[in-house]
């Protein structure tokens, strides 16, 4: 069903909102959905059972714990911080929005490193924050750290997505530290995909020495809970206070809190799947790299997706969807990502299927 805004209604909207269109993730019913970086393995069956049992105990006649203290305590214990350093949200997206609500706005500046996750710019602009771009290198897709450190000197918020969506690279913690030291405002390290990155890649150890650092995590990716909507940040208690001040009190409902507590108690059960996704990533990457003779290029990834450049990318994307029932994400019209698709790493069968179809289609495109 198409949602649209009529001209008279648009005229009533605040200008920064009137500039937007309703979000359409472009989902089509397909057999193989590798478009949204979900964990396509799902939860381990024993965790799924425990989640169901926990859900059955919830009393929904009462309001949820406003700050989700059960979740906060578990997150705090896991990450070795105090519960006061944890803020929970309705998905990481809500926390990103609240960060801009609290620290963005007119007269404030976001420093962003495109191509990256599109919601940073979207939410910044919605609350009328000026956006300064420090673009990534056109060839390596890596950020220009020296330029970022310079731009950070006048920023209210710097966002570092690491591993970056959709390019897959990690920013070294030493570089994140330089940005934190230069920035008078808040530095958000978005580590939504951190569980797929090598040890030592996280900016988390900097929290103790850099009170302007905020590290974002989500249960949507590694922990197979995208439908549940649970994200959290680790930050200085005072920054958590600022986020708590602007948040709506009951956005993380009792059912999600109960499920999230169970997932966090059982988080070790996800380790084999995460390791499998990492090994599948390398296998899929090798399979697609072998198509370099057909004009295919794959960038290294520390995440659960690959950024892949293919000839006539939009045509290939359409053929994957309509002929092969495989959905990946089309970034080919995003500046800096011309010709690029983002392929989520799925199960071995899903990866074989997307690899063989990409091999066939890029051969056809080349010959035709
Ligand atoms: C998926 C994602 C998030 C958070 O997703 P939620 O489902 O809202 O928790 C945050 N940042 C990036 C870069 C992501 O890809």
pLDDT tens column, 306-345:
999 999 999 999 999 999 999 999 999 999 999 999 999 9
Is the distance from the beta carbon of residue 161 to the nearest atom of ligand 1 less than 6 Å?
Answer: yes
Using the predicted structure, report yes or no on whether residue 368 has a pLDDT greater than 60.
no
**150, 127 Cβ separation under 8 angstroms:** no
Token pair 């970086």: residue:
37
Lowest mean pLDDT among 15-24, 91-100, 164-173, 327-336: 15-24
Tell me what pLDDT residue 367 has: 65
Average pLDDT over all residues of the chain? 96
pLDDT band of residue 214 (cuts 50, 70, 90) is very high
Contacts of 272 (CB under 8 A, 6+ apart): 44
Is the distance from the beta carbon of residue 165 to the nearest atom of ligand 1 less than 6 Å?
Answer: yes
Pocket test of ligand 1: the residue of 23, 25, 88, 92 to mutate, having most ligand atoms within 8 Å of its CB, is: 92
What is the pLDDT averaged over residues 215-240? 98
Q: What share of the chain is helix, strand, coil (3-state, %, to 5)?
A: 45, 15, 40
Is the distance from the beta carbon of residue 331 to the nearest atom of ligand 1 less than 6 Å?
Answer: no
What is the pLDDT averaged over residues 139-164? 98
Q: What is the 93 CA–ligand 1 centroid distance (Å)?
A: 6
Could you give the C-alpha distances from 176 to 53, 86, 187, 230, 355, in angstroms and in order? 41, 20, 8, 25, 35
Q: Of all protein residues, whose CA lies closest to atom 2 belonging to ligand 1?
A: 192
What is the pLDDT averaged over residues 293-306? 98
Instruction: Give residue-wise pLDDT tens across range 52-79.
Output: 999 999 999 999 999 999 999 999 999 9
Q: What is the 54 CA–ligand 1 centroid distance (Å)?
A: 25
Q: What is the 168 CA–ligand 1 centroid distance (Å)?
A: 14
Q: What is the 219 CA–ligand 1 centroid distance (Å)?
A: 9
Q: Which two tokens stand for residue 240?
A: 């958590």
Tell me what pLDDT residue 23 has: 81
Cut 0.85: pTM above it: yes
Q: Which two tokens stand for residue 313?
A: 């990318």
Tell me what pLDDT residue 104 has: 98
For the CA of 117, the nearest atom of ligand 1: 13
Q: What is the 192 CA–ligand 1 centroid distance (Å)?
A: 6
Tell me what pLDDT residue 325 has: 98
Q: Of all protein residues, whose CA lies closest to atom 4 belonging to ligand 1?
A: 92
Tell me what pLDDT residue 14 has: 95
What is the pLDDT averaged over residues 98-103? 98
Distance CA 341, CA 260 (A): 32
Q: Please give the torsion angle defined by the CA atoms of residues 143, 146, 150 and 152, in that order, rounded to the nearest 10 degrees.
A: 40
Query: Which domains occur in the chain, in start order?
Result: 7-43+270-367 (3.90.1150.10), 45-268 (3.40.640.10)
Is the distance from the beta carbon of residue 92 to the nearest atom of ligand 1 less than 6 Å?
Answer: yes
């Amino acid at each position: 069903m198409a949602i649209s805004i009529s001209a008279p209604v648009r005229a009533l909207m605040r200008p920064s909102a009137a500039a937007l269109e309703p979000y359409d993730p472009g989902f089509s019913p397909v057999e193989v959905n590798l478009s949204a970086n979900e964990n396509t393995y799902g939860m381990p069956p024993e965790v799924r059972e425990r989640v169901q049992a926990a859900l059955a105990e919830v009393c929904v006649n009462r309001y949820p714990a406003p700050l989700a203290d059960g979740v906060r305590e578990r997150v705090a214990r896991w990450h070795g911080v105090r519960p006061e350093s944890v803020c929970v949200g309705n998905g990481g997206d809500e926390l990103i929005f609240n960060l801009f609500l609290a620290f963005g706005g007119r007269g404030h500046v976001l420093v962003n490193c495109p191509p990256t996750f599109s919601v940073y710019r979207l939410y910044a602009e919605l609350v009328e924050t000026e956006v300064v771009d420090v673009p990534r290198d056109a060839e390596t897709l890596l950020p220009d750290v020296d330029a970022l450190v310079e731009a950070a000197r006048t920023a209210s918020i710097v966002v570092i997505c690491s591993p970056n969506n959709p390019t897959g690279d990690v920013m070294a913690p030493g570089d994140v530290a330089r940005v934190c030291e230069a920035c008078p405002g808040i530095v958000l390290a978005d580590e939504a995909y951190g569980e797929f990155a090598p040890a030592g890649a996280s900016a988390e150890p900097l929290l103790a020495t850099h009170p302007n650092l905020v590290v974002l995590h989500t249960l949507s990716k590694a922990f197979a809970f995208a439908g549940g909507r649970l994200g959290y940040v680790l930050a200085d208690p005072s920054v958590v206070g600022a986020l708590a001040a602007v948040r709506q009190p009951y956005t993380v409902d009792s059912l999600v809190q109960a499920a999230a507590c169970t997932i966090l108690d059982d988080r070790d059960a996800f380790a084999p799947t995460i390791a499998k996704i990492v090994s599948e990533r390398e296998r899929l990457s090798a399979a697609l790299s072998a198509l370099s003779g057909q004009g295919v290029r794959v960038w290294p990834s520390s995440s659960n997706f690959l950024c892949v450049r293919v000839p006539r990318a939009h045509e290939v994307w359409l053929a994957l969807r309509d002929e092969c029932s495989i959905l990946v994400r089309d970034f080919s019209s995003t500046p800096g990502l011309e010709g690029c698709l983002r392929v989520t790493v799925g199960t071995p069968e899903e990866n074989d299927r997307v690899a063989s179809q990409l091999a066939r289609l890029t051969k056809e495109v080349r010959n035709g």
